[in-house]
Amino acid sequence: MNKIRLIISREYLTRVKKKSFIVMTILGPILFAALFIAPAWIASMEDTEIKTIAVIDSSSVFINKIQDTDYIKFKYLENTTLDDVRKGFSESEYYAVLQILPSITYEPTAVHLFSKKQPGFAVKSYISSSMEKELRNQKLRAAGINDDVLSSIKSDVSIRTIQWTEDGTEKEGSTEIAMAVGYAGGFLIYFFIFMFGAQIMRGVIEEKTSRIIEIIVSSVRPFQLMMGKIIGVALVGLTQFLLWIVLTFAIITGVKTVLFPQLGTQNAQEVVAQDMFSQNMPDSQQVVQQQNMQEFESIFNSLKTINYGVLIGSFIFFFLGGYLLYGSLFAAIGSAVDNEADTQQFMFPITIPLILGIFVMMNAIQTPDSPVAFWFSIIPFTSPIVMMVRIPFGVPYWELALSMGLLVLTFIGTTWLAGKIYRTGILMYGKKINYKELWKWIRYKY
């Protein structure tokens, strides 16, 4: 054990001191934080220039019917032709000219938007939706249905999911949050297994080609060397992952405080103002606001009901279990070849279960209790990915224990198998290895 501990320490300290580790530890949180901050920043940098659009309505259907927005204003021109506006368009204040022909009621293409440059999608979409709404209302009025009747029959349905626990209590949940948490957990495990497994393989190949491995195995057994490398790189991965979480949270908090101080700092006066504003709202808008508040409240209640202890504990276990299982196989591949170009034929059978796990994960998000999701969350080669998707939806403890137990047993088996390949292949040079040769190494008796 002392020798394995020394190898773990060497692998860990050597890798955390590398420039690549330091750079990725810094860049990773910046990239993750950017995924959260960029949408808010882009929204704050949105184009606020007021665009004035001249409207020439030959149909007289839409005069004063297309409502202004904060950034789009409509000016309706009477007794003016398109040619008259075009002559002085360059010197005018207009962003574009909207021409509506008399045939608009039966010809959808009887609308033209003229401008010097291609109009933005938001402008075109707003004009189109506003005109469609007005035409629909006019047709309803012609059929004897007024706007009040139309508004009264509109209904929205928002489903609250509530679980009955075994002790008889009720616990509110959210399918959307469970999907997001499960997908994030499964994808992170897939990503880390690939990234750090490849590091083990490259490290073994480098030591083998430099012949330094011959000196190392004179002091330790090949199996001890392989286990030390696998565990050492696993600790490096955990260290980097924890640093990413802490630094990402710190960056998001700091940037939000500096750039968006208004978020999360609502005072009593703002609350009162919102209450007064909501009192002056039409009934329909108050209903929409109440529905939005209920949705936000439901989301926050769902976040509180997540069993973070089980979720985080399961993530760490399946991350380590999946990594150790595949890490031993990656180490065996590295020991069997002399360069990375020769690894392709052996990498394919290993990567198939991981890729298959991603595909099943997508299905398990939709149907977490399906037979496919169940069996692939039990099979050790895919369980680290698929089980993490199912856990937020609620998994019986016996299924979780069975999956964990099989993962541990399979890890022991693959480690034994990889150890036999590693012991022979680590000192094998200049020979092209195939599956028949690997089978001979596995059958060797020492």
Q: 265-305 pLDDT, tens per residue? A: 444 444 444 444 444 444 444 444 455 555 555 555 555 56
Q: Are residues 127 and 190 in the same domain?
A: no
Q: Are residues 134 and 191 in the same domain?
A: no
In the predicted model, is pLDDT for residue 71 greater than 50? yes
Distance CA 223, CA 424 (A): 11
Q: Which domain holds residue 228?
A: 181-256+301-443
Residue for token pair 């509506």: 100
Q: Which long-range contacts (CB under 8 A, 24 or more apart) does 197-202 make?
A: 197/323, 197/326, 197/327, 197/329, 197/330, 198/330, 199/15, 199/233, 200/229, 200/230, 200/233, 200/327, 200/330, 200/331, 200/334, 201/330, 201/331, 201/333, 201/334, 201/340, 201/343, 202/334, 202/340
Residue 379 confidence (pLDDT) = 92
In the predicted model, is pLDDT for residue 403 greater than 90? yes
> In the structure encoding, which two tokens stand for residue 348, read together?
């394919």
DSSP code of residue 166 = T
Q: Are residues 141 and 188 in the same domain?
A: no
Q: Are residues 426 and 338 in the same domain?
A: yes
Q: Would residue 131 count as lying in a domain? A: yes
Contact 226, 419 (CB under 8 A): yes
In the predicted model, is pLDDT for residue 408 greater than 70? yes
Q: Are residues 143 and 199 in the same domain?
A: no
Q: What is the mean pLDDT of residues 31-58?
A: 73
Q: What is the mean pLDDT of residues 61-76?
A: 86
In the predicted model, is pLDDT for residue 415 greater than 50? yes
> In the structure encoding, which two tokens stand for residue 423, read together?
């012991």
Contact 167, 297 (CB under 8 A): no
Question: Concatenated DSSP letters for 275-308?
Answer: HHHHHTS-HHHHHHHHHHHHHHHHHHHHHHHS-H
Q: Would residue 174 count as lying in a domain? A: no
In the predicted model, is pLDDT for residue 59 greater than 90? no
Domain boundary among 153, 172, 203: 153
Residue 223 confidence (pLDDT) = 73
Sequence-ordered list of residues with C-beta below 8 angstroms from that of 237, at least 6 positions apart, any chain: 192, 195, 196, 319, 323
Residue 267 confidence (pLDDT) = 43
- The strand pairing partners of 325, in sequence order, are none
Q: Are residues 131 and 203 in the same domain?
A: no
Helices (H), 306-343: 308-336
Q: Would residue 169 count as lying in a domain? A: no
The enclosing H or E element of 72 equals: strand 72-76
Distance CA 325, CA 115 (A): 62
pLDDT in tens, 124-173: 888 888 888 888 888 887 787 776 776 777 666 666 666 666 666 666 66
Q: Would residue 281 count as lying in a domain? A: no
Residue 406 confidence (pLDDT) = 94
Q: Are residues 105 and 238 in the same domain?
A: no
- What percent of the chain has pLDDT above 90? 6
Q: Would residue 67 count as lying in a domain? A: yes
Distance CA 315, CA 291 (A): 34
Helix, strand, coil distribution of the chain in percent, nearest 5: 70, 5, 25
| Most confident range, picked from 180-194, 235-249, 350-364 | 350-364
Q: Are residues 211 and 356 in the same domain?
A: yes
Contact 157, 147 (CB under 8 A): no
Q: Would residue 42 count as lying in a domain? A: no
Residue 270 confidence (pLDDT) = 43
Query: What is the distance in angstroms between the CA of the first residue and the CA of the last residue of the chain?
Result: 21
Q: Are residues 310 and 185 in the same domain?
A: yes
In the predicted model, is pLDDT for residue 402 greater than 90? yes
The enclosing H or E element of 56 equals: strand 51-57
Q: Would residue 21 count as lying in a domain? A: no
CATH code for the domain of 144: 3.40.190.10
Residue 168 confidence (pLDDT) = 64
**Least confident segment among 88-97, 153-162, 366-375:** 153-162
Residue for token pair 């260290």: 239
**Predicted TM-score of the model (pTM):** 0.64
Q: What is the mean pLDDT of the chain?
A: 77
Residue 380 confidence (pLDDT) = 92
Distance CA 8, CA 380 (A): 25
In the predicted model, is pLDDT for residue 213 greater than 60? yes
Domain boundary among 135, 153, 171: 153
Domain boundary among 134, 153, 172: 153
Q: Would residue 126 count as lying in a domain? A: yes
